[in-house]
Amino acid sequence: MPYENSALLPAVRSFLSAPKKLLIDGDWVDAKDGRTFATVNPSTEEELVQVAYASSVDVDRAVVAARAAFESGSAWSKMTPRDRSHLLWRIGDLIEAHADEFAQLEALDNGKRVEAARDGDIAVSAELFRYFAGWATKMEGTSIPMSVPGREFHAYTRREPVGVVAGIVPWNFPLLMACFKIVPAITAGNTVILKPAEQTPLTALRLGELLLEAGVPAGVVNVLPGFGDTGAALVDHHGVDKVAFTGSTEVGKKIATAASVNLKKVSLELGGKAPNIIFNDADIDAAIAGAVLGGYFNEGQCCVNGSRLYVQRGVFDRVVEGVAAAARAIKVGDGFDPSSQMGPLVSQEQHEKVLGYIRGAVEQGAVLNAGSADAVGDRGFFVAPTLITSVNEQMAVQTDEIFGPVVTAIPFDTEDEVVAAANNTVYGLAAGVWSNNIGTAHRVGARLRAGTVWLNTWHADDVTLPRGGFKQSGWGRELGSFGLDDYTELKTVIAELR
């Protein structure tokens, strides 16, 4: 029985009814060994569709295709920067034209609300193509003077693509994370093999169809759904020049080790456990709203969420009460129900993991000011937004990236004390400060060891801004003008003028 839901758009229904294959060299093909896997709707636990499961043999085929598309003389290598720019812009338009369809697919596969997907994931994905369309014609080098007595030189730099890029992405923003890898890579002239997460392959496959429709030459972007072994085969492959990964710190470390076989380039966007610091002199209503957004956005499945609240003692009770009341008021439900304010977690694995952390904290004496260690409802992977107090820095709920709607709150007295506590983590992705004292806000912001610091706001973002992690939160920066550096090699050319 094909999956059915009366709200489905005809385009979504027809997409789901066709076999879901691998995209290799511009063709949709089955996995060589014929294997498939099921992708599931986390709101209902129903199977949506079977998807081809790429093995190392398929990885080989995709690398051959991506290499051929990259080599000089290919249609891709001969495309002018202006034509590449126009192509990127066209893809952004196509994504926008199909936004409702993408949003439904994302809601089905990931669980998030249709509206959240459309206004967030899908809109930003389209914007990424347009932002980078501008850069395609601006991959400039510099001319550099040399001082060699009696001789004359002209020296200059060129920014050239790295080659074949493997993009390996997670399930929390499926289309958007795919675009984070594909867009800067092809802007700079690379070719790509994308490995979507096993939980959420659908929008990457739909994007593959639109890329072909837009006129991206065969082999420039290949899409290989599969599990960790598919990703590992890409990382091990000698024909891959660079791996761009977003996901867990644990897998990021495995990738860094495995990539050493041929010293392929690696960029990593890994886990986080962001501290969100509220001082007595903050605008408390704004800080509470920011703590709620920062804590529960995307069902808490976001690497830059503010999962560790530190609240100065004078406002601790007020902030805890405010965040707990807001958390309790959030309506958890199916991503297709317009009255839902929060969907389910992505998978049974994630559901069990998150509830396990809440249960563990309660067993260690922590207090639940909102939420529960029990599942919400008897079907679907729902968790109530949870706020935990009476925690200490050693508890797992405080040290580990939970990746669910779980926030802890701890009181503090002094600036030095809170900076030390906030930085006492292996992660360094994001952090935030709420204070109406401009000195406090900027000084503490500078002392926090994190790639992104928000002052009196949370989740404010733009495709123009670089992002990435200090410490074990990653290597490299994505997006903005800096986001192209990791997708280019710098060549120095020295000519003697005889």
One symbol per residue from 323 to 362: x for binding ligand NAI (CB under 6 A), - otherwise; what is it? ---------------------------x--x---------
Distance CA 103, CA 406 (A): 25
Q: How many residues does the chain have?
A: 498
* HSE of 271, CA atoms in CB hemisphere, 13 A: 18
Q: Write down the least CB distance from residue 433 to ligand NAI, Å.
A: 22
**Which residue's CB is nearer to ligand NAI, number 65 or number 197?**
197
Q: Rounded distance, CA 422 to CA 19, Å?
A: 48
Residues 409-468 within binding reach of ligand NAI (CB under 6 A)? none
Q: How far is the CB of 172 from ligand NAI (least distance, A)?
A: 5
CA distance 126 to 176: 9
Could you say whether residue 254 binds ligand NAI (CB under 6 A)?
yes
Closest CA to 412 of 275, 313, 317: 313
Residue whose beta carbon is closest to ligand NAI: 231
Task: Give the span between the Cα atoms of 205 and 68, in whole angstroms.
Answer: 22
270 lines the binding site for ligand NAI (CB under 6 A): yes
- What secondary structure does DSSP assign to 23-48, as a single string? EETTEEE--TT--EEEEEETTTTEEE
Return the residue matching tokens 């800096």. 482
Token pair, residue 142, equals 């510099």
Total residues interacting with ligand NAI, rule: CB under 6 A: 26
**Burial of 66: CB neighbours in 10 Å, binned 0-12, 13-18, 19+:** buried
Q: Is 246 in the site for ligand NAI (CB under 6 A)?
A: yes
- What is the Cα–Cα distance from 143 to 158, expressed in whole angstroms? 9
Nearer to ligand NAI by C-beta: 5 or 172? 172
Residues 272-311 that bind ligand NAI (CB under 6 A): 303
User: If binding is defined by CB under 6 A, does position 235 make contact with ligand NAI?
Assistant: yes
Q: Is residue 401 near ligand NAI by the rule CB under 6 A?
A: yes
- The 214-233 site mask, x for binding ligand NAI (CB under 6 A), equals -------------xx--xx-
**Taking the mean position of all CA atoms in its chain, how far away is CA 156?**
35
Amino acid at residue number 495:
A
Residue span binding ligand NAI (CB under 6 A) among the ranges 59-67, 251-259, 317-325, 448-456: 251-259
| Residues annotated as part of the active site | 269
When binding is defined by CB under 6 A, the residue of 16, 197, 277, 282 that contacts ligand NAI is 197
Q: Which residues bind ligand NAI (CB under 6 A)?
A: 168-172, 195, 197-198, 227-228, 231-232, 235, 246-248, 251, 254-255, 270-271, 303, 350, 353, 401, 403
